[in-house]
Amino acid sequence: MDKLRLTRTALPVAALTLFPLLVACGTESAGDSGSGTVGSGTNTTKSSVTGVRWAVDSLTVDGRTAQAPDGAYLKIDDKGEVEGNYGCNTFGSTATFKDDGIDFEVARSTEIACGDVSMKFEETFARALDTGTFTPEKTNGKLTLSTTEGDTVKLSEEKPAELYGTKWQVESLLDHDVASSLPEGADGKAWFTLDEKAGTIQGSAGCNEVSAKATVSDGKITLGPPRTTRRMCSDSLMAVERSVLELFKGTVEYRVDHRSITLTSGNNTGIAAVADK
């Protein structure tokens, strides 16, 4: 497979939505399996696999199993176009359905910086998708993709997250068209939840707990003055906290996309978060 350049750089946010279209070169179609079974000896059909957003639960390669990071998913449309996320970086590819299973073409991905654990999972996942034909087996909302060598990807059907009541885990900081991953050591530290009945937002700004009034209307959230604890943390956590607290100066625009959300202020800075599993 082509070497993926997964470097610690940032990429324009607008590019993140384009990667499902940036697939490997070639003219192969998605195959002619139609609604028939995919892979010998299975009862799984092409139509039961496509059109579903599958959360990646775990990956087993060479007998070693790794749990997937939050936000990792895979989705194949009925034409074989693939979009997904390795756990940090978004990717796009093409899937070909054959009588013996599913083949994935070489993927192209974004290059957002990730933590060491996420990077290792991404590289293994990307390599696994390009190494062979996968036999799918779907049962009770679960999907297992297996190769003849014994490698497996376990996935679960993923429902869209609700704006209210979801624990949104902050993954990156936004500055105009650029998304930057959180500093090392800050992963999983910043999060928030919106309470519709109470009309509040609460969570962690990275170091300190934070809460405020929150009024949601017409794609916008008006935030009241934040109430926070007064702990001091590492420089990386405090830097994240300053960026998060900048949002509590008025009204932010929000956009929910399945299980991800962005909050953007009037000066085009903000945060991107994913629903906690």
Q: For 112-153, how does the pLDDT look when each residue is reduced to its tens digit (9 = 90+)? A: 777 777 788 999 999 999 888 999 999 999 999 999 999 999
Choose between 35 and 46: higher pLDDT. 46
Average of pLDDT values for 60-71?
Answer: 91
Residue 41: predicted pLDDT = 62
Instruction: Report residue 154 CA to chain centroid gap.
Output: 16
Q: What is the pTM of this model?
A: 0.63
SS3 151: coil
In this prediction, residue 2 carries a pLDDT of: 37
pLDDT of residue 117: 74
The Cα 164–Cα 27 span in angstroms is 43
pLDDT attached to residue 35: 53
Which runs of E-coded beta strand occur in 5-119?
11-12, 53-61, 64-67, 73-76, 81-85, 90-98, 101-104, 108-109
Dihedral (C-alpha) 52, 95, 261, 65: value to the nearest 10 degrees? Answer: 90
Distance CA 58, CA 28 (A): 29
| SS3 of the chain: helix, strand, coil, percent, to 5 | 15, 45, 45
With cut-offs at 50, 70 and 90, classify the pLDDT of residue 198: very high
Q: Give CA–CA dist 249/266, Å, rounded.
A: 10
pLDDT attached to residue 23: 37
Q: How far apart are CA 35 and CA 233, in angstroms?
A: 55
pLDDT at position 184: 82
